[in-house]
Structures are given as structure tokens and as C-alpha cells.
Structure 1
Amino acid sequence: MTVSVFSPDYAAHHPAVHRIGPADLQIALAKGWADFLDNPTHVLFIVMIYPIAGVIIAAATFENNLVPLLFPLASGFALIGPFAAIGLYEMSRRRERGQETDWVQAYEPLTHRSPRPLLAVGLVLAALFAAWITVALAIYHALFDGSVYGSVGAFLADVVTTPRGWALIAVGNLAGAAFSLLALAVSAVSIPLIVDRDMDAGTAIETSVALMRANPVTMVLWGLMVAALLVVGMATLFVGLAIVLPVLGHATWHLYRRAVGP
């Protein structure tokens, strides 16, 4: 069912958004898995840089005594992931149309079509990521006074056994949830919409926000599902991201196709 969450004038100039529920999320994930199985080698080539980047981030934090930044940096994947998945959206789009889905064509939205709207949304997500890291550092310094830890074990022991550590968990997760909700509202369907229709960034973001407003419970559930799968991927020393990221990228495309109308 199509819904209008803004004025009639807004609805006349923006794509329609539909009511969606948990069943739509399940269907999107199932189709995302099918897309992944259709071209696993091409997809793995596209996303392999992200597990590698995760390992580099982890090594850098250990080498430079920045252990407290490991979690904020790792969780930042959820904020910039929608932009990183451009190639996956294009592959799903081409597979849906019966076109060739080689990895060479995956980044046509950035090379052969108009890249500006995509880059504009990417800059918004990058700004959110930078703001999240800044806030996370501020929370840590306020509670731990810039303490330096030589290992993850020592840091975790302090976090789980001290009042300041409990405060860090509570305040840090609340701040992270706020940034995640904001990123979800901005990017839930905005980038797939640009890939599919070559739309301007402002209209695409407004449509994404409209979808969030029309389906708050379902979209929050989607965000929780994405976060849980990313945690699973990171728990395997980022190797699991080589499967989690492409499945989520393809699934996001199919969620967009179910959630946004003409």
C-alpha cells in the first residue's frame, strides 16, 4: 500500500513509498542471498577490500595504542556501508533485468552515469562517520581521561568491571544508536534509488527519510538485523564480512524495490 507522509505537493514530485513489514525484510534477505550465490566470485572480488580494511584498522589500533577506538572504527562500517555497496546494487539491478553481471559493470553508476548524486550522499555518510568517531573519542576521554591500554584484554577488563566502563557502554551505545538511526534514515534506499533512476541526491534522501517515517518499526528492525549480521562478520576477524556485506548489499536493493514505487 502506498502512503503519503508529507504534503500533496511533496508526493507529486517524489517517488511513492509503501508500507512494508517483517515479511518484506525476509524476502529481501532471501533474494539478497540468491543474488550472492548467482555470482559469488565477482561479488567477493568487489567486497574483499572491506575485510582487508578491517584487519588493517585493527592492526593500526594495536600498533598505535588506540585500542579504545577499535569498536567505534569497526562499527563505522554500518554508517558508510550503503555507499560501499554501490557495486552490489548495480549487480542486483542488472541481474533483475537479465543483463550481464560481471564485476566490470558493477561501478557503472560511478563511471558511465552521473556520479555526483552518489558522491553527495557518500559525503553525508562520511560526515556522519567522522562525527561518530569524534563523539566516541569525546565520551572516552570524558570517562577514562585518555588512559592508554596495551591490549584489548586490559581495556575490556576495565570496561566490564568498573563503573566508568559501564558508563562507557551505556553512553557509547546510546550515541552509536543515534548515529545509526540517522544514517539509516539518510541511506536506507537513497543510493539504490540513485543507481536505479539517476535521481538527484536531495530527492533520494528525502524519499529515504519518508520511508523511515512511514515504516518506523520495520525500518528499525531492519537496522537491528543489519547490525547483528555485521557483528557476526566482525566476530570472525572481519573475514565473515566477505559474505555478510554482499548479502546485505543485494538485500538492500530488493528492499528498495519492495518499498519504493513510481
Structure 2
Amino acid sequence: MATFHVWAGSTGVERSRVVIREIGIADVLAALKAGAEDFRASPSHYLFLGLIYPVAGALLMAWASGANLLPLLFPLLSGFALVGPFAALGLYEISRRREQGLSWTFEDIVAIRRSPALPSILALGVLLTMVLVVWLLTAQQIYASYFGEVIPTSFANFISGVLETSHGRAMTFWGILVGFFFAVAVLASTVIAFPMLLDRDCGVATAVETSIRATLANPLPVALWGAIVAGLLVVGSIPLLVGLAITMPILGHGTWHLYRAMVASDRR
């Protein structure tokens, strides 16, 4: 019974009754703007939450370099975005409370652990983690198919092999192409899944199915949102990942507003 609750939720609302709105480019930009406004409302608190991302990313970089896993450094950094929607739960809750005119404290964020939808949220988070692992294994296989078991002795040596050799450029092409398909699959299936689970105890199946329907109904806006996410992640990563303390919270808050734009709050 608990497993069924995780999958289907407890509301008993049929998936077909979740109404999807068609939105435009202006709505995507409005969601991003609203996310930035949420961030500006209390930057000192958001900085604390946002630092989770650059710190975790830096740890991943240090682990990859220290373990002689330089070939997985870039897949790790790009794959980190795959689990970002799960890590932004606190940001969704802050935007939800501000939307209702409520104040918030750190205790309010921690209180998410008492949400009836937490098992579903955790289950979807585990699924995303599994996707991340599969992506890393795939990236490792792509590297091995071109470089075999040769491990670069330094970062400079690795970059030189990637950019200055034909097999390095081929590896980069296939890595980006395969990574793109991973990113599209995750984006389409979870673009609004986590905010929806936090807002309604609807179950993983409904949240994922609604995200897919929202993507199919709004392919260009969702593609634009994916491009914005990718662009801000790159911009935030350039200054030693510190910029992620700003870009990731804005994206997290913006995701909540994108959910509000695409999913009707009323049930027919």
C-alpha cells in the first residue's frame, strides 16, 4: 500500500484532470524574472541555501581529480544538473510561501520532511540519482572507446588530448550528443515534477506524466527553459562555481513559477 501511495499519491485525483496550460516565451521569461525577484527578497538566506550547489560541485571536482578520474570531471559537472531539481526543494517551498503572502524561516524549510508527499519526492530523487549514475557509466564507456584505459596525467594533458586529437574531438562530439539526450529526457519528465509533488500529494506517476504532457503542449517554451538552465549553469560555473550560489537559487525559484504557469490550480 505504501508503494502504491508513492507511485499514485493519496489525493485520488485522476491524472487526466490535471489541466495543462499552453504558455509562450513571455511566460518563461516572466517565470525567470519572478525567480529573480524571490531571490532578491532575502539574498542573505538564499546565499546559504545556494552555497549547497557550488560546495557540492567543488567536492565533486576535487573527488574526480584526486581519484584520477579526470575523464569524468565534465560528465560529473554536467550530470550534477540532473539532480538539481531535487536539491531545490527548499527553494520551491520558499516561493510557495511567498506566493501565499507568508513569511518563512529555516524551520519552515526543514518542515518539508513532514510533507505527505515526501516518500514520492524521495523516490523521484532516487530515480534521478540512478539516471546520473547511468550517465556517468555511459560517459566512461565513451571515453574508454576512444582512449582505452589510458588515464591522463594532468588536467592540461587531458584537455590537450581532447582538443588536439581527432579521437578526442570525436569523443567530445558523441559525449555531448548522448548527454543532450539524457538532459532532454530528464527535462521533459521532471520540468515541473518536484514543484508539483510539493504542492500536491499526487504521486510520482502523476507528476512525471504531467511534466511530459506539459512539455508536449509547450515544446518551445520548455526548450527555452532548458537552454536558460544550461546557460546559467555555465555562467555560474565559470568563476570557480561560486556563481552557482546566485544562478541556482534563481533557477529553483523560477521553476516553481514555471510550474504555476503551466499547471492550472483548479481541478475540474
TM-score normalized with structure 2 length:
0.90
CA RMSD of aligned residues (A): 1.5
The whole-number CA distance in structure 2 between the counterparts of 1:238 and 1:61 is 15
- How far off its partner does 1:232 sit? 1.0
8 Å CA contact 1:29, 1:248 repeated in 2? yes
> What are the within-5 Å matches in structure 2 for residues 100-179 of structure 1?
100-179=103-182
Q: Please, which moves more after superposition, 146-155 or 72-81?
A: 146-155
C-alpha distance 179-152 of structure 1, shift in aligned 2 (>3 A): same
2:220 equivalent in structure 1: 217
- Which residue of structure 1 lines up, in the alignment, with residue 81 of structure 2? 78
1:69 aligns with 2:94: no
Asked whether 1:195 is paired with 2:165, we answer no
Asked if residue 239 in structure 1 is aligned to residue 257 in structure 2, the reply is no
SS in 1 for 2:91: helix
- Structure 1 alignment gaps of length 5 or more: 1-9
TM, length-normalised to structure 1: 0.92
Matched, 1:251 2:254: yes
Q: Deviations over 1:37-59 (max 9, x none)?
A: 11212222223122111111111
CA shift for structure 1 position 108 = 2.7
The alignment status of 1:92 with 2:95, answered yes or no, reads yes
Which one has more relative contact order, counting CA pairs under 8 Å at least 6 apart? Answer: 2
Structure 2, unpaired ranges of 5+: 1-12
- Cα distance in 2 for partners of 1:100, 1:113 equals 22
- Does the CA contact (< 8 Å) of 1:32 and 1:251 recur in 2? yes
Displacement of 1:112 in angstroms is 4.1
Structure 1 stretches of 4+ moved >3 Å: 10-14
From 44, 48, 56, the equivalent of 1:45 is 48
| Equivalent-residue separation in structure 2 for 1:11 and 1:225 (angstroms) | 32
1:176 is paired with a residue whose SS is helix
| Alignment coverage as a number of residue pairs | 253
Task: Tell me how far apart the structure 2 counterparts of residues 186 and 121 of structure 1 sit (CA, whole Å).
Answer: 10
In structure 2, distance between residues paired with 1:58 and 1:246: 21
